[in-house]
Structure 1
């Protein structure tokens, strides 16, 4: 079968790293006999400036029809709505298609100098991505000019989906030789919404008695993540906590330029690097494309699992091996201590496929 993939390059360096990801995808697809049809569409802050709409309904509908979506980066710091917030179509997509789980691997890759003493870092942050402290982002502003509010909403249905994905991921990682443990980061000792989240976690955990679990307050958890990152395997949490913790997890393994992610629901998925649009370096051919290239690998793994397609799984493994080979050979962008350009890293990965 042919896979229909919608590509949303977006803004800033999103455009450049998307070009890199597409080049690698096309090369590996040809190598393993995989047919991928790409549809490039416009959305983001640039689209908002041109049309007044950040993501048009036909684009949003195409996202829903696609087998998967590759997403570059969206938003520009000087393009904002009337309420002062940035343009964030990625949040609209997550909410529209119930992309509940933001899956963000944190792995110390070959050729990358350790930030910490630990040399064996390999865990996954699973961030709830549609509610939590982001739930009220469309709420009206306060009528009191001296007070503003945001709300945290936790629902059973969303939390159960989130935890089902986390436990499934842990089971798959255990089969691959990892610990297969799920850790919940929360603040259940203070916030009633977080206490409810822990209750739902306990209920889902009871359905997976073969999977080891632990519950850790988020403030203690981030300290442990720095001091002993090797203790973690799958770490799951609320939206805002996950937004912060996933960046910390990227930092301890070399930075956001290396960090891939997938926004995953029961029926749809979007794959993108964890970094933003970085307009200050856009167009300079210096952005690190590895996060996007590894997001391509995540997409291929997801398609392979979903459609029982060994070609996709083989392609994903080849992409990861090629990234490791390029980095080990010293082909690195300046954010990770190298001198290579975006184009040079991309070419090295393609050559290693």
Structure 2
């Protein structure tokens, strides 16, 4: 009997192509391992859902996801949705808020065979995922912005001790399994109360982890240090907007945003979602690099394994992870990495590296 029902949200643009590639790799790895881990549940989201159900994220999709152990989400192209939907939270933001996926975890690793701007990076960003300066999701109802005159707009940032405590705890727990260093990124020198509360709370949580070293950086200094010294960072702990920005930076440093994985995790569910967008300019051409979403899926496997004490899921994630890195070091490459392989061909190259 399968252990986990995995929801599949293909999304827009290149989403269906990379989601299909990720499922193909996971199914092949599952078959070769002899495990029976997954049932797959494909659900409507994005433009296809608008056309059929009149909503980019139908209630039926949200209801079905509550019965899933986790899910894969392809990128969405909410910028191209009809104007009536642009005032709403986009599908990703709505899922993060509805399911309380408070930790956005985005690793960046230098990869053999990939010509990144840095060769020694191995870090992970823990981004608080529910509040901060993201005005579409930091209020109970409505958005945290007000246009008080035609020429004046106020945008609210929300910082709570509870949110800082739980993302800090997740970051320090992860650091214990890595190189035991957490760097807090903030702007408490200017936004003294909001970022001050975040910084103070993170340091309070650090006292529960005396074996983990901790330091902190202003956001501007952190960005500069990452460009020159990314290899010195282990776990970066930061707020919503800063984490979003820094993870794109670190993704480019190691070879490109198409390689950048991510996991949105809460206490009950997790959503594998690559850091990149829907790339509508190459949608349907077969040129998209599926690496980011496939590595996101391995993060989901690791999360499932830890949450359910399931070594099979953890082992399968490691096997796929190793196969991806081995394939990237080979000659089969998608156009963003200087090759001419299609999305499906690169997925097959990964499968060829799986143990028989």
The TM tier, using the shorter chain, reads over 0.9
Are 2:156 and 1:151 equivalent residues in the alignment? yes
Q: Which residue of 2 aligns with 1:132?
A: 132
Please name the residue that 2:203 is paired with: 202
- 1:86-144 Cα offsets, whole Å, 9 max, x none, are 8621111111111111000001112101323xx21100011111100014553264242
Alignment check: 8 A CA contact 2:75 2:276 kept: yes
The equivalent of 1:62 in structure 2 is: 64
2:173 maps to 1:168: yes
Flag the 1:227–1:283 CA change in 2: closer, same or farther, 3 A.
same
Question: Does the 8 A contact of 1:79 with 1:86 survive in 2?
Answer: no
Partner of 1:109: 111
Deviates more, 1:322-331 or 1:96-105: 322-331
Give distance in 1, aligned partners of 2:230 and 2:200: 26
Q: Residue 24 of structure 2 corresponds to which residue in structure 1?
A: 23
**Take 2:322 and 2:86, find their aligned partners in 1: how far apart are those partners?**
43
Deviates more, 1:214-223 or 1:335-344: 335-344
Matched residues in 2 for 1:271 and 1:14: separation? 13
Q: Structure 1: 5+ residue runs without aligned partners?
A: 174-178
Residue number in structure 2 paired with 1:236: 237
For residues 33-52 of structure 1, what are the structure 2 equivalents within 5 Å?
33-52=35-54
SS of equivalent residue, structure 1 residue 148: strand
Gaps of 5+ in 2: none
Equivalence for 2:183: 183
What displacement does 1:317 show? Answer: 1.1
C-alpha change, 1:262 and 1:24, in structure 2 (3 Å) is same
Q: Is the 8 A contact 1:81 1:87 kept in 2?
A: no
Task: Work out the CA distance in 1 between the residues paired with 2:116 and 2:62.
Answer: 40
1:34 CA drift (Å): 3.0
Report the more deviating stretch, 74-83 or 280-289.
74-83
Equivalent of residue 72 in structure 1, options 74, 82, 102 = 74
1: CA distance, partners of 2:208 / 2:60: 40
Contact 1:74 1:87 (8 Å CA) reproduced: no
Structure 2 Cα separation of the partners of residues 44 and 229 of structure 1: 35
- Residue 322 (structure 1) shift: 0.9
Residue 47 of structure 1, CA deviation = 2.0
RMSD: 1.6
TM-superposed CA distance for 1:84, in Å, is 5.3
Q: Supply the distance in 1 between the matched residues of 2:71 and 2:152 (Cα, whole angstroms).
A: 39
Moved more, 274-283 or 41-50: 41-50
Q: CA deviation at 1:52?
A: 3.0
| Distance (Å, rounded) in 1 between the aligned partners of 2:84 and 2:147 | 14
Higher mean alpha-carbon deviation, 63-72 vs 43-52, is at 43-52
- Taking the aligned partners of 1:35 and 1:217, their CA distance within structure 2 comes to 43
